Every structure is written in C-alpha cells, then in structure tokens.
C-alpha cells in the first residue's frame, strides 16, 4: 500500500505541466516554502524558492506526509490558507505567491488503518492542518481473493510485457490537452446554486453539532464552506461549462461528506435485556435433565431425532449507530428546548408525534410510520436506561423500564442530570 501511494503521487507529477514532487521525511519548512541565503559573490541576501513556490499554479505532491515534523507541517499553514508565503528574514520582507494545490500521501500509525478510531488518530497530523485539506480518501488494503488475484496478474503482466500490456483509454497528451482546456473556464454560481450551497453548509454544521465530540475527523468550519465552493467550481470546469448548477453543488457536497471520515460504531440493540429473562422464566421446567442441558429429543416417525423447538424467541431490533444517534439528538434537542422555555419536560406521546412530524417526508406508507413509532418508543426506553432521559409520572419517578404502578398515567420525559447536552 505504501508503494501504491508513492506511485500515485509520482504519476500525478509526471503528466501535469507544473508539478513538484517531494518527500515529507526529506523536506524541511524552508525547503517547502522559501529560504533566505547569502550570495557568495556579492554578499547580498536572496530568496530561494521552495517546493510550494515552484509549483505555483500547479500541484505540489508530498509523499510520506505523516513523517514530517510538526514544526515543518505548521510552516505550510499560510500557503494552504492564504495561497501566499510571507518572509521576514535578514532584512528581507516579502509576500510571495504559492497558488498551488497540495496532494499529500500518508500512512496510518502502525501500518494498518483502524476503523474504530478517528482519521486523526490514525495519522500523525494536527487538527488545524487537517481542516485545510478539502478531501480525504482512505485506501484500505483488505484481503479479497478476487482483487488480490487480479492485482497480482496485473503486476506480473507489467513485468513480463512492459508498456505493451498497458493500453489506457486516453493518452498522456490527451489528458494534458483536456486539463489545459478545462482551466480556461471561469464558472460562476447561479442564484439557485448559491442558495443550495448555503443550505448544504448549514446541514454540515448541524450534523457536526449533533454528531458529538470525536465522531468526525475535524470540526466543520468556514473552511469547509470554501471547500464546497472550490469543489463546485472544479466540477464545473471538469464539465467544461461556465455556470455552476445545483447538480454540481450536490456532487461537491457528496464528495465532502464522504471525505469526512466518521468513526465506525457497532449496531445498537434497542430491545430491552429483560425481555430475554421474561422468556426464560416463562419456559416450563421439565426436570433435572433439562436444567443440565440433557433433555431428551423427541423422535420423528422415521426414528431420526427432531430438532428442539425454541419457544418465545424473536429477533432483536438493531439499528445502526448513526440512526440511533440521529433519533437521540432530535429527542434530546426537543426535551432540552421544552425544559429551557417552560421548565417542564415533554409528554411521551407528544414527543413521539413531534419526531414523526420531523421525519414525515421520509415515510411512504402507514406501515413505515407505525414501524418508526415503535422504534422511537424502544429508543426512548434505551435512553432512559442509559441515563440520558428520565421518565416521570405525576410527582414520582418510574424505574428504567418505565414500569410503575398498574395505573396508566401521563408520562413525561426530562433530561437526566448526568446528561451533558453539549456532548450529545
């Protein structure tokens, strides 16, 4: 995988008209930006351009980016943010252009990507510099017999047949000509695309606020809005048009959403554990043999033992972690809003109806509504069990399962005192 990343970065710099390749381990801050050196003949100080300045209006490919020192990574903050490099050394004060795109390749810590942790925890990069990149792509080396066989055959054929085996659909000259032509376009946003861009940015911000600390690789800031603008314009240039339409904005939003790597979580079981215990208690006791697990099996007419019948078992209800957090965030936000404004909680039925109203556009049939209603009820019980909400009836508290007196009364949900709303 490490060799693949190196080949990708070297290939990009091989056919672009103005591209510079460098390795993170062998690069310093001055080598990437600019250095002030003393001329041996005249004794005057001059500026020597670094990789970012040499790649102005082009691409700077940095391999082994994770091997760079943190101090060297900080040096390219200005170039990635302002597209300039400022120098104030040896009596020289200058601001130089570094209008370059940065393509960086990094390896995960320990040599293998851990899906259970954040992208930032997998690579040696700080949050400020991560937020300056528009897109992230994680290339996983997973064991797959078919993929491994095709990859091995491809590499062997390249070594055996050399260039005769490679027959690309487009030649290098055609790619270069297409890139030069696409760069001549200066697309502008249509009014509809502008409003959609604002809406998509607000959606990103809302998801970031509801996702909790550590769910995303980095926080969503105005830099991601600028990323959406750049990506939308780049897609329009790739299509060789002068207008940025709504479809281009949606495609840019999809790219950005895919690159914001989230931590993988296990599915959440929203069924109550007590249901299994109730089933076990309801089973009849057939003597010591059944208690020991050696109960005789009934024989079928042909003399073969018949399988034992499982009584009372039903599949558990499991939903994805993202679905669970989506429901949880909406419910917590509603309860917190009601407590802030009225000082009281929200009645259970009213809370479920409010949630269904928020999601009514996603339902197609009445069966979908009823299924979602049942799911929200289970999630509410799970939230009570996890000390996120408290359920009260009248003036007293009920237990975690919502079981209280036999008399059915109005149930109200309030936030649990130990629930940190800002982290939910």
Residues in the chain: 424
CA 50 to chain centre: 33
Per-residue pLDDT, 315: 62
Q: What percent of the chain has pLDDT over 90?
A: 11
Per-residue pLDDT, 302: 47
Per-residue pLDDT, 262: 53
DSSP one-letter string for 62-92: EESGGGS-HHHHHHTHHHHHHSEEEEEETTE
Closest by Cα among 413, 414, 256, 386 to 325: 386
User: Tell me: the pLDDT tens digits for 369-411?
Assistant: 888 888 888 888 888 888 888 888 654 445 545 554 444 457 8
Rg over CA atoms, the chain: 30
More reliable by pLDDT, 164 or 284: 164
116 and 74 Cβ atoms separated by less than 8 Å: no
Rounded to an integer, the average pLDDT of 176-189 is 92
User: Tell me: the pLDDT tens digits for 132-150?
Assistant: 888 888 887 778 888 889 8
CA 389/CA 318 separation, integer angstroms: 20
Using H for helix, E for strand and C for coil, what is the string for 156-172? HHHHHHHHHCCCCCCCH
More reliable by pLDDT, 403 or 323: 323
CA 264/CA 3 separation, integer angstroms: 27
CA 311/CA 279 separation, integer angstroms: 8
DSSP 8-state symbol, 344: S
Tokens of 169: 């659909």
- CB within 8 Å of 348: residues ≥ 6 apart: 380, 391, 411, 412, 413
Residue 237 above 90 pLDDT? yes
Rounded to an integer, the average pLDDT of 50-73 is 85
Rounded to an integer, the average pLDDT of 40-45 is 83
Per-residue pLDDT, 281: 38
Q: Which of 5-19, 192-206, 246-260, 370-384 has the lowest mean pLDDT?
A: 5-19
Per-residue pLDDT, 391: 83
- CB within 8 Å of 381: residues ≥ 6 apart: 270, 272, 400, 401, 402
Residue 49 above 90 pLDDT? no
DSSP 8-state symbol, 31: H
CA 375/CA 363 separation, integer angstroms: 14
Closest by Cα among 68, 63, 86 to 28: 68
Hey, which residues does 102 pair with through a beta bridge?
Answer: 60
Residue 280 to residues 275, 297, 310, 316, Cα–Cα distance (Å): 9, 19, 11, 15
* pLDDT mean across residues, the chain: 77
Residue 24 above 60 pLDDT? yes
Rounded to an integer, the average pLDDT of 230-238 is 93
Residue 77 to residues 41, 53, 81, 84, 99, Cα–Cα distance (Å): 34, 14, 6, 10, 13
More reliable by pLDDT, 216 or 93: 93
Alpha helices, DSSP H, located in 212-365: 222-238, 246-259, 274-282, 288-291, 321-342, 348-358
Residue 2 above 90 pLDDT? no
User: Tell me: the pLDDT tens digits for 273-307?
Assistant: 544 444 443 444 444 444 444 444 444 444 444 44
Per-residue pLDDT, 280: 44
CB atoms within 10 A of CB 382: 20
């Amino acid at each position: 995988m490490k060799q693949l990343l190196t080949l990708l970065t070297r290939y990009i710099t091989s056919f672009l008209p103005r591209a510079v390749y460098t390795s993170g381990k062998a690069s310093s801050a001055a080598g990437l930006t600019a250095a002030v050196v003393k001329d041996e003949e005249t004794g005057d100080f001059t500026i020597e351009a670094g990789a970012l300045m040499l790649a102005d209006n082009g691409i700077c490919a940095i391999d082994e980016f994770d091997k760079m020192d943190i101090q060297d990574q900080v040096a390219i903050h200005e170039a990635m943010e302002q597209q300039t490099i400022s120098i104030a050394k040896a009596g020289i004060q200058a601001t130089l252009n570094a209008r370059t795109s940065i393509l960086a390749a990094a390896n995960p810590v320990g040599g293998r990507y851990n899906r259970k942790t954040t992208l930032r925890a997998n690579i040696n990069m700080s949050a400020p510099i991560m937020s300056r990149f528009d897109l992230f792509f994680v290339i996983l080396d997973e064991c797959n017999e078919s993929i491994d066989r095709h990859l091995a055959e491809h590499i062997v054929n390249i070594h055996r047949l050399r260039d005769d085996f490679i027959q690309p659909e487009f030649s290098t000259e055609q790619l270069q000509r297409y890139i030069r032509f696409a760069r001549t376009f200066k697309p502008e946003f249509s009014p509809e695309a502008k409003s959609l861009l604002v809406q998509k940015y607000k959606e990103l911000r809302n998801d970031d606020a509801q996702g909790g600390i550590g769910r995303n690789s980095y926080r969503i800031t105005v830099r991601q809005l600028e990323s959406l603008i750049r990506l939308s314009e780049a897609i329009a240039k790739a299509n060789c048009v002068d207008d940025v339409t709504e479809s281009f904005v949606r495609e840019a939003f999809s790219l950005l959403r895919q690159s914001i790597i989230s931590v993988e979580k296990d599915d959440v079981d929203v069924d109550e554990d007590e249901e299994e215990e109730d089933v076990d208690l309801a089973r009849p006791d057939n003597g010591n043999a059944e208690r020991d697990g050696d109960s005789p099996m009934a024989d079928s007419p042909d003399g073969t033992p018949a399988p034992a019948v499982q009584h009372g078992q039903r599949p558990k209800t499991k939903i994805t972690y993202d679905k669970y957090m989506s429901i949880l965030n909406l419910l917590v936000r509603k309860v917190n809003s009601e407590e802030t404004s009225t000082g009281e909680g929200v009645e259970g039925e009213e809370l479920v109806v409010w949630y269904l109203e928020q999601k009514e556009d996603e339902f197609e049939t009445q069966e979908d509504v009823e299924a979602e209603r049942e799911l929200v009820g289970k999630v509410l019980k799970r939230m009570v069990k996890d000390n996120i909400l408290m359920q009260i009836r009248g003036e007293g508290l009920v237990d975690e399962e919502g079981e209280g007196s036999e008399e059915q009364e109005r149930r109200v949900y309030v936030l649990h005192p130990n629930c940190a709303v800002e982290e939910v």
